[in-house]
Chain A
């Protein structure tokens, strides 16, 4: 295999745009996933059994089935119940819901990690439930929640490659298309692997940096 740099240089704009779509979907999916996941974990904690059971079941289903099947269900099944989504919104929807299921479990473990006495102390001081969540639970669980959240972020970035199967114009779709267009499959896929590798390593390092910063901050504060 002779690696021809022109294959890449000629298609640089498409590669950059594909990378952009991957990064945008990843970040948007992650942010939505964290928000929905947090709401789900909070509802499951305070909403009573009637809310906890169905939400728990939904989380189990999302965590127990492949992301690809979930995407197929939304993309091919959606139109049959009147929801026709283009690949990008469909991908974003699927990714955020998938992320939310895993994030909700992370937040649930985070809630459980805060000693009950701290919550009681807050109640004794007359704090409202919302204040207890914001002032006591969230700051205390931040350090517990961060490492699995970083792991999950990395998993989501890699999982987003699956969206190429429903033709979302992200990195995998774009670079594989260039590969078949130029008859350079292997070069294209190596390039793809390297781009993902660099982004994943960068994301993981950034996450570790955030953990280190947060833990020194906690030590300084206590």
Chain B
């Protein structure tokens, strides 16, 4: 396989990485809202959040992407397919991240919160200075895992016609009749990206405050 073909795949990985990064970031923002709704104790907020999470965790991402891709034009939003893809991926990862964040917030030791109360922290300070840092510390490994899952799942947006690694590989494989070389190269590129994220995650985990040295 020529260098030119390989470099086309590497160029397409910009889309894979871009879609993944944006989806993880957007998903994280949505997940904060969802986890707050889950923990609010009010059924009015909790129930819709539970419904959202159950749906997006219970339906294959491929079906979600097809649904959003078809639904958006139907309700009159003619957005480019890249936007549909990012919306689908963000909503899906938000559901998973929200569950992780909820678990993180619930595992903050009660004693620490009581101690902060005793020390005269306001509710807001307890939240920002105690709960958030500890919950983020606890959920960081899960977030790295989720980022890796999203990187791999982003291969599915090839179905709605976005030329990321997988779609590029498909196009090249059918035009060059070298499917083994091309799909193996694509796999290698995914592998390298996933390893890089895992490595960065481990480094990040160690440098977070409160990490076991």
Contact = CB atoms under 8 A, between A and B. Distances in A.
A65 interface: yes
A61 B191 contact: yes
A77 B60 CA distance: 26
Interface residues of A, number: 36
A115 interface: no
Interface string B157-182: 01100000010011001000001100
A42 B70 CA distance: 46
B166 A69 contact: yes
B187 interface: yes
B15 to A, nearest CB: 14
B187 A65 contact: yes
A73 B180 contact: yes
Interface stretch (A89-97, A127-135, A183-191, A211-219): A183-191
A161 interface: yes
Nearest to B193: A64
A1 B74 contact: yes
Interface string A57-94: 00011001111111011001100110000000000000
Contacts of A197: 54-55, 58-59
B187 A73 contact: yes
B158 A196 contact: no
A66 B153 contact: yes
Interface string A32-70: 000000000000000000000000000011001111111
Contacts of A60: 191
A76 B67 contact: no
Contacts of A81: 180
B35 to A, nearest CB: 19
A189 B74 contact: no
Interface of A: 1, 60-61, 64-70, 72-73, 76-77, 80-81, 158-162, 164-165, 172, 176, 185-186, 189-190, 192-193, 196-197, 200-201, 204
Given A66-B153, A68-B156, 7 more contacts: A64-B191, A72-B173, A72-B183, A161-B60, A185-B70, A189-B66, A200-B57
26 contacts: A60-B191, A61-B191, A64-B152, A64-B191, A66-B153, A68-B156, A70-B187, A72-B166, A72-B173, A72-B183, A76-B183, A158-B60, A161-B63, A164-B62, A172-B63, A176-B66, A185-B70, A190-B67, A192-B63, A193-B55, A193-B64, A193-B67, A196-B59, A196-B63, A200-B57, A201-B54
